Amino acid sequence: MRYTDFVDFEYKPEETDVVCTFYVEPEGIDIKEAAGGVAAESSIGTWTELTTVKPYVEKLAARVFSIKRNEVKISYPIELFEPGNMPNILSSVSGNVFGLKTLKNLRLNDVDFPAELIRSFKGPKYGVEGIRSLLKVQDRPFVGTIIKPKLGLKTSDHAEVAYEAWVGGCDIVKDDENLSDQGFNSFEDRVTKTLEGRDKAEEETGERKVYMVNITAETKEMLKRAEFVLDPGGEYVMIDILTCGFAALQTLREQDFNLVIHAHRAGHAAFTKNLKHGISMRVIAKIARIIGVDQLHVGTVVGKMSETREDVSENCKALEEKMNGLKLVLPVASGGLHPGLVPALIEFFGKDFVIQAGGGIHGHRDGTVAGAKAMRQAVDATLKGMPLREYAKTHRELEIALQTWGQRA
């Protein structure tokens, strides 16, 4: 079978097929041959015709069934994949094909997974409804923060910053992606002391509070850390899903711990930022949801991240669209956020998301407590339909935040 033999515009995908949407930019060949090359090299073909292909093997060929300019849709028979094995699936549809010299650029923009494959994974344990039930927050976005500076604080100072954020009004405090078990802030001491601060803050405020501790590590160590979080009453863990890998994420989810899984996407832009080459964040979001995360960073629309409004919208859709009964995953907006951006965030996301600000809370002139208060005040004002500057006249913390960072029009 030649590359062009994998192109069949009459083919109609089966319900059980995996359907991938690629951006394909050829180098030295036409788009039809390039698209057929992707289908061939990611299923049963190769660069030359083979004498070892049997008639029963030909039935397993991937098929290019649509080419519209550079958008190529390819359908893969489900028999090509091992159920419950995401590395196998991704090694096929997004493996060696990215290195073909006949392709100037290749980007995997979307994957539609059949119900049979989705059922072979656990999916989210909690999802949006479970998180709302846990935190007893039903009618507003969640307010969260990241401990800043992200590295360098001693354990006692880390725990104190977390406590101040909770007392000021944050629902959620999390580690940043590169805080692990360094000598200046050891994992076990950090968990113990920070959760003590959580308990104290809950008693003082009457609100539920959660701490997302970063358990990212080698897989066996990561499982040990998850179990350690449970002992003092921890309810959340965070994992850097791309640097740990989807297999490690699945191993964690398979334990069925009573822990909400917060997925950090550290490193994603290496795959997603080039709109002509790599893998879209939408695909990563779908995979993370199928494996079983409960919340995931999706971009901000505003703030310091580069993704467009359309990009972030597509990421959110991947977390909420119908997918064989999977629970909805909670989107997390994080990156350069401050109180002045809250109206724009709520206008875009609605209420089911986390406003997660680091510098936009800890950079408040009057400290972390005031910064957290300002963020909650911005949420309250927006939900009441009041302009932030009007609300700030009677809320000093918000007034100072707006003086410091301004407000998006």
Q: How far is CA 268 from CA 151, 181, 265, 271, 332, in A?
A: 21, 23, 6, 6, 15
Record the tokens describing residue 66, joined without a space.
Answer: 């649509």
Record the tokens describing residue 243, joined without a space.
Answer: 């640097």
Count of beta carbons in the 10 Å neighbourhood of residue 263:
25
Taking CB atoms within 8 Å and a gap of at least 24, the contacts of 97-101 are: 97/37, 97/38, 97/41, 97/42, 98/277, 100/37, 100/38, 100/41, 101/27
Catalytic entry in 32, 73, 148, 174: 148
Asked if 73 is an active-site residue, the reply is no
Antiparallel, parallel or unpaired: β 330-334 and 18-26: unpaired
Contact 16, 78 (CB under 8 A): yes
Contact 379, 354 (CB under 8 A): no
Catalytic entry in 32, 158, 174, 264: 264
User: Which residue do the tokens 């060949």 mark?
Assistant: 29
User: Which of 317, 296, 314 shows the shortest CA–CA distance to 239?
Assistant: 296
Cα–Cα distance between 125 and 217 in angstroms, integer?
Answer: 21
Contact 333, 354 (CB under 8 A): yes
Cα–Cα distance between 293 and 290 in angstroms, integer?
Answer: 8
- Terminal Cα distance for the chain, rounded: 58
Order across the sheet with 103-112: list the strands. 63-68, 71-76, 18-26, 103-112, 278-279
Rounded to 5 degrees, φ, ψ at 192 are -60, -50
Instruction: Give catalytic residues, as residue numbers.
Output: 148, 264
